Structure formats: C-alpha cells, structure tokens
Structure 1
Amino acid sequence: MARGDLEAVPGCTDLYYHDTGMYDVDGYGAVYIYDTDHPAVIDTGIGTNVELLIESIAEVGIEATELEYIIPTHIHLDHAGGAGFLTEAYPNATVLTHEIGVPHLIDPERLIAGTKAAVESQWEFYVDPKPVPEDRISGLEDGDEIDLGDRTLTAHEAPGHAPHQLVFEDTHDNAVFTADAAGIWVAPRNEVRETTPPSQFNLDACRRDISMIQSLNPDHLCFAHFGPREYDEALLSNYKRTLVEWVQAVREKRSKFDTDEEVIQYFIANTETVDVWGQRKTQAEVRLNTRGVLGYLDYMADQ
C-alpha cells in the first residue's frame, strides 16, 4: 500500500481500507470504509491528504450525501484529525466516538496542545483539526451498537492506550478494528510493535485490552497502522510480552542513566525498525514511546 491506495479487506464483505500516507510512511495510517446499507468510515487520519480519502470513498461508490457515520476509534489526532474535514464533505454523516472524546472534537484546542506536546517535531505532518459541529457528534459507551444494515458494530472500551479508545467488533465478518489496543502491525517482520505514547499509557490496562480482543476470537484483525491481517492469537500473546519487556527495559535503563533524556537517546540509538519506517519516523516513534513509559513509571511510583 502507498499513499492514496485503496484495497478490499481480504475475507470481508463490502469493507475496504485506504492508506493515508501519514508521516510520509506508506501504510502507516489505515482508514476503513464500509460500503454497507448505512455507509461508514472507521478512523480518519490526521487531516492531511484528506482529499485522497474522499476520492477513495467515491471510488467505493459512496456519494457525499450517503455516508452516515464517521467513527474515530479514539481522539488521538492520527485517528480523529480528519473528522471535522469529513463532516464538511459529508453533510449527513454523524461522528461517533467515545463519550470522553466528544467535547475535545467539538473544541479541539486542548487536543491540539496535548498532541503538540506529545509528538514534538512530528507536528509538521499534522494540520490543525477543524471542530466537529456539536449537533453532528454523539458519544459511545462500552457495549453500544452501530447499525450498518446487514451487520452491527459493537463498541468495546479499551482504555490502556487511552481512556477514550474503543475497539469495534463486526458481527457479520467476525472482524475486530483494533485501534491501537493491539499495537502496530509490522508485516515485514510478522510482529506487533509497542505503541506507548504519553500521557495515558497504562501497562496493566493494555494487557487487559489485548485479552478482551482475544476473547472475541475474531477471524480478522483490522489494525489502524499498516492494515488488516488474519487473526493469530499467538501474535497478541506475544504483544503482551512485548509490552512487559518494553516497560522493564525502560525501567532498567532509567536506573542506570542520570537523566530521562539519556534513556530516550539510548533507545533511539538501539532501535531496529529504521529499515521498515525510515530513520526519522522510527526515531520519533521511539522517543514518543519511551516518554510514555517514563510517564507511566512516574505515575506508578506515585500510587
């Protein structure tokens, strides 16, 4: 997949995924498009290249007046940054997201500030999100269902990555949209990499979220980063271990270095994904994830 590409999700019906090309990394951001009786998109990208997403929605055969739902899995801007732009392009669509996130998409000022603090120099790849009109957005809770016509999407809270995160279960094709609860799928290595950004990462909650996805026993995992793949329970079990080992590695290095910045620089210097994502994105990702764990360790020390 490359920026702007559109493909059908293997093994699923009337479901497609679009590559947003975020951070100038092919495949990094997947938006899923349902061409069902009640059409929907799951996630929106960061708002850049939104015109390419609109082209993909049209290519699927969905008219501007027909799209009914815009569904960010959570309000981190790499998932929800395009929501306001899409409400302008699709006048009959309703934005559905976790109820915690609704006020922040209506008035994104704090969301913008928090994102800038978290992503640092990566902000250059973003655009300021447009507010979602208050009468065009509704909140979801755990267990809520979205009627797409021939199937429903069931929302499952997954707060380990962020308290406003939802995983969605497709009851027709037995697919699960993992948001960031199952990590970042790295196809060339057949592995899942950690995503532990500041400031709300929680290890125990993340492990519970993974167990929840395993309990759904899906046939397909629709990753928000790098697209869909067949379900593999062992892959998710390995990701649980990856998270534990990652947190332990950061804890250990923190005990050996004088400053947190030295810890961050150590992991940047020893990362192994430069050949997959490129040097700049890899280093930025490692920095973000290390800072998230350091914040989590501070939080746990205060408990």
Structure 2
Amino acid sequence: MVGMLQFLSESFRLYYPHHKVSSKGVISVNSCKVNGKICMIDAKPFGIENFTAVYVLRGEKAALIEGGPASGAERLLTGLREIGVDLKEIAYIMVTHIHVDHWGGASLILDEMPNAKVIAHPKGLTHMANPDKLWEQSKAVLGEVADIFGKPAPIPVERLIPAEDGMIINLGDMEIQVIETLGHAPHHVSYYERLSGSLFPGETAGMHVKDLNAIIPATPPVIILEKLFESIDKLIRLNPEIIYYTHFGPADNAVEKLNVYAKQLRIWSSTINECLRNNEDYDAILARLMERDPNFKVAFEYIRKHPVIGRALKSIIQGFIVNGFSCKIPSKS
C-alpha cells in the first residue's frame, strides 16, 4: 500500500508540475470572499492539491462546510490556525454527505474543537457515530483510493445534529439554509448562504476544474439520476451567484454552471446507455463522450492522469447505467 500511495504522489508530481504535492499544511485563502467572511482550506489528501476544499465561514460564530478526508486532518488543523480561527469558537461543521473524503478530517480533530456540533443528513448519522461499515463499503467501492482518503473516526452521538430540509443555521450575521439534495447519495444536503447568494453544493453540482473552466460528473457507482435532476432544479431556483465546489474551489455564474451540469448528465446518461445497447466497449464509450460533451473533451487529459479522478473514471461511468442494463461495461475485444 505504501508503494501504491508513493506511486500516486509521484504520478501527480509528474503530470502536474505546476501543482505542488506537499505534506505541509498549506492554506489557500478564497479570493471570492463574502464580505471577507469565507475562506478556503485545501485539505490535500495525500498531498494532492486543488482537489478537496473545506470552507471556513467567519460570522459571529465560526463554522466549517465539509471536513475533508482523514488524511487531510493535520492540514485542516494547520490551515485553521494559520487564518487565525480560534478552534473553540467553531460552532458547527456542516457536512454535505458522508462519503469519507467529506468528513474524515474533521472527525480526527474534533477534540480540538470542543464546542463544535457536526451537521449531516439524518440517514448518515449512524455511520458517522460508527464508521466501520461505511469504511468497509468505501474500500470495496474505491479500492486503494479509500486509503488515500483515510478512515474517519467515530463522532460522539451527542455531537451530531440532523440536517433537515429548510433548516436555518444561524451564525449571527450569516444564515445558512439546508437544502436536501439527493441523487449523488441518499444522504446528501447542500448549504446556501442567502444574503450573499453563496452555494455549497457538495457534489450535487459535479466537480469543477478551475484552470480549464470545465465541469466533470461526480457520480458514484450507484446514483439516482431523477433525484439528482430534481436537486439541481432546487438549487437553480435559489438563483445563487457563486458556487463553492468541494471539488474544487469557488466559481461565479452559478446558475449557468448548474444548467451546464444538468445538460452534461443528460448527455452522459443517453450516450453511455446507447453504447451499452450497441455492446460497445469502454474505449468506445470514452470516444463518444468526448464527441458529445465539450467539457469532457477539454478535461479528458486532466481526468485521465489525475491520481484520484482517473482511477475512478470507470466507476463514474458505471453510475449512469440505468436499471435493466448489465452492471459490467463490456471489455475491449
């Protein structure tokens, strides 16, 4: 395992020399601030930059949105200290869903934040209190990528709060609305800072490659596309101005990007299932997607060489296979 992790780190350095791979707790401050009240920390799982963001809200009360992976816990702690956050003043850690790269880091440093409560979808709370089963499932689905993220620690039940749809989290001079956004996962919520139009969609809005201005599907092996479309529509109706992507970073023109993502999902769904009906192999599916999705074409080399996304690409495609089709993509003959 150590050899594989070293290989992934070296691969990232080789393919992305302009992206530093570092074990240091480097802080990335968000340049798209909400009255100076939102900062971004790059959690850098296993030193991989520009992939996993944790957002720090600095109202009268402090809060985090997302908790990063367990492997980024030390970087998260260092980043919080570097931007001058008093850990005792953190009131909430708002988690969009319980996939292990979204809360494991906060779970390991929760003792450093004695007043913080963790907010997540009600369906995820049992797994956060006892993550053993979730961890086994994560390893089964993600393989060695799970070890890049690391295993979360249990969170005491008394520190967990269910995130109910429509719930308002009051930070004094900031109010965060909870929006249930199912589809990517059955335990997914998004968060919306209403005064500034700032949206924190977790993976309901896909993944964003800022340098390429491209969007990539964020789909696990099992998704419910109908629910995901409903969730995207809910977010569009909010008319947000800025999206703060967990993967990765802030982006303006939020409504436009949400519409682009909905269109991308439809392209991928129809294309992949058309290919399966024709018994086309994985390489043929990739070729068809590049023909029909300009975002994927622009980002393909980035995806293919990325030490996490590249290894998950087949699994991402698998998520679009509708009921009635084989669960296996035909191998190249």
TM-score normalised to structure 1 length:
0.89
| Aligned counterpart in structure 2 of residue 287 of structure 1, from 301, 314, 324 | 314
Change (3 A) 1:71 1:116: same
Q: Which residue number corresponds to residue 130 of structure 1?
A: 153
The answer for unaligned runs of 5 or more in structure 1 is none
Deviation at 1:6, TM superposition (A): 2.0
Return the alpha-carbon distance in structure 1 between the equivalents of residues 201 and 178 of structure 2.
11
In terms of mean alpha carbon deviation, does 142-151 or 51-60 score higher?
51-60
Question: How far has the Cα of 1:124 moved from its partner?
Answer: 2.7
| Structure-to-structure mapping, 1:98-247, within 5 angstroms | 98-199=121-222, 201-247=223-269
Amino acid at match of 1:158: T
Question: Does 2:298 correspond to 1:276?
Answer: no
SS at match of 2:120: strand
Residue identity matched to 2:268: W
- What corresponds to 1:297 in structure 2? 323
Does the CA-based 8 Å contact 1:87-1:94 persist in structure 2? no
- The answer to whether the 8 A contact 2:275-2:285 is kept is no
Name the CA distance, whole Å, in 2 between partners of 1:96 and 1:22. 22
Aligned in 2, Cα 1:300/1:238: closer, same or farther, shift over 3 Å?
farther
Identity level (%): 25
CA contact (8 A) 2:276 2:325 kept: no
Deviation at residue 257 of structure 1 after TM alignment: 2.8
1:159/1:205 contact within 8 Å kept: yes
Q: Distance in 2 between matches of 1:249 and 1:138?
A: 40
Return closer, same or farther for 1:166/1:140 CA change in 2, 3 Å cut-off: same
C-alpha RMSD of matched pairs (Å): 2.4
Q: Secondary structure at the match of 1:6?
A: coil
Structure 1: distance between partners of 2:46 and 2:224: 25
| Letter of the structure 2 residue corresponding to residue 191 of structure 1 | A
Q: For residues 128 and 139 of structure 2, what CA distance do their matches in structure 1 show?
A: 16
Q: Which whole-Å CA distance do the structure 2 matches of 1:298 and 1:60 have between them? A: 51
Q: Give the Cα–Cα distance (whole angstroms) in 2 for the partners of residues 274 and 88 of structure 1.
A: 41
Counterpart of 2:52 in structure 1 is 29
Stretches of structure 2 lacking an aligned partner (at least 5 in a row): 1-18, 291-295, 328-333
Change (3 A) 1:225 1:80: same
Aligned residue for 1:162, secondary structure, equals: coil
- Given that residues 190 and 202 in structure 2 are in contact (C-alpha distance below 8 angstroms), is that contact kept between their aligned partners in structure 1? yes
Equivalent of residue 42 in structure 1, options 65, 69, 79: 65
Describe the shift of the 1:158–1:300 C-alpha distance in structure 2 as closer, same or farther (beyond 3 A): farther
Which residue of 90, 96, 99 corresponds with 1:76? 99
**SS of aligned partner of 1:101:** helix
Q: 2:196, 2:206 → 1: CA distance?
A: 22
Contact 1:9 1:15 in 2 (8 A): no
Q: Does 1:250 align with 2:272?
A: yes
Count how many residue pairs are aligned between Structure 1 and Structure 2. 295
> TM-score scaled to structure 2, two decimals?
0.82
Give every structure 1 segment of 4 or more consecutive aligned residues whose post-TM-superposition deviation is greater than 4 Å.
Answer: 265-272, 298-301
Cα 1:267–1:85 change in 2 (3 A) is farther
TM-aligned CA deviation for residue 256 of structure 1: 2.8
Task: Give a deviation string over 1:31-89, Cα, whole Å, max 9, x none.
Answer: 00012211111101111121111111112222222211111111111112223213122
More divergent stretch after superposition (3-12 vs 53-62)? 3-12
Q: Does 1:85 align with 2:111?
A: no
SS at match of 1:62: coil
Q: CA deviation at 1:18?
A: 0.8
